[in-house]
């Protein structure tokens, strides 16, 4: 079981990292989600892997460590909220600039497209070109 869990975590982390390094916001978001899944599974396994044991201490009986489960719950809630936020952010960025590229140099972009209305049109064209 250790090998299965460990390789699953490794695979998810590798997938996540590969996707995060892509140049579009959608793969980056999916990659972040993969990474947070991997982290959650990792954190869960840190209390040692046990099968069919309650997270409650009873005298004389074996139990599984409850603390990592509490930590994972907190981590899940936080990463869920963050993922929702970054989805909205990516969407707003796409709607406002017409492009979902993540590698825009901001200072340069601001200097190259000074007038905002024109920038918006240019952005739409860029977005169209990117989609085509």
Partner 1 sequence: MNNWIIMPAVLPAFTAAFLLLTLRHRLVAQRIVSIVATALGLLVAVGLAVQASDGVPQAYRLGDWPAPFGIVLVLDRLSATLLVLTGVLALCVVLYAAAGWDRRGQHFHTLLQFQLLGINGAFLTGDVFNLFVFFEVMLIASYGLMLHGGGAARLKAGFHYVAINLIASALFLIGVGLIYAVTGTLNMADLAMKVPEVAPADQGLLKAGALLLFLVFATKAALVPLHWWLPATYAATSAPAAAIFMIMTKVGAYAILRVYGLVFGAEAGALALVAAPFVLPAAVATLLLGTVGVVGSRSLRSLSAFAIVASMGTLLIALGLFDQAGVSAALYYIVHSSLAGAALFLLAGLVLEGRGTMGDRLLPGPAMRGEVLVGGLFLLCAVAMVGLPPLSGFLGKVMILEAVRSSASWPWLWALILGTSLALTLGFVRAGAVLFWASGPAGEGPRRRLAPLPLTAIVLLLALTGAWTGAAGPAMVWMEGTARQALDRAAYVEAVLGPTNHRSAGRGE
Query: How many H helices and E strands in the chain?
Result: 5, 0
DSSP 3-state of 24: strand
Question: Is position 130 an interface residue for partner 1 (rule: CB under 8 A)?
Answer: no
Nearest approach in angstroms of CB 94 to partner 1 is 9
Residue 65 DSSP SS3: coil
Write the interaction track for partner 1 spanning residues 12-51; mark x where CB under 8 A is met and - where it is not.
--------x----x--x---x--xx-xx--xx--xxx---
**In this structure, are residues 27 and 19 in contact, taking their beta carbons and an 8 Å threshold?**
yes
C-beta of 58: minimal distance to partner 1 in Å? 18
Q: Does 10 bind partner 1 (CB under 8 A)?
A: no
3-class SS of residue 101: strand
For tokens 């406002």, name the residue: 96
Provide the token pair at 45. Answer: 């396994």
Which two tokens mark 55? 């997270």
67 binds partner 1 (CB under 8 A): yes
Binding-site ranges for partner 1 (CB under 8 A): 20, 25, 28, 32, 35-36, 38-39, 42-43, 46-48, 67-68, 71, 74-75, 78-79, 81-82, 85-86, 89-90, 92-93, 96-97, 102, 104, 106-107, 109-111, 114, 116, 119-120, 123
């Amino acid at each position: 079981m250790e090998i299965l869990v460990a390789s699953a975590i490794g695979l998810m982390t590798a997938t996540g990292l590969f996707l995060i390094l892509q140049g579009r916001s959608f793969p980056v978001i999916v990659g972040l989600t993969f990474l947070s899944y991997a982290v959650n599974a990792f954190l869960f396994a840190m209390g040692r892997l046990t099968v069919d044991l309650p997270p409650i201490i009873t005298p004389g009986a074996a139990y599984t460590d409850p603390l990592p489960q509490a930590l994972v719950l907190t981590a899940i809630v936080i990463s869920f909220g963050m993922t929702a936020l970054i989805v909205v952010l990516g969407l707003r960025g796409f709607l406002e600039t017409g492009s979902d590229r993540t590698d825009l140099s901001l200072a340069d972009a601001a200097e190259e497209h000074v007038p905002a209305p024109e920038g918006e049109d240019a952005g739409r064209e860029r977005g169209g070109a990117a989609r085509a």
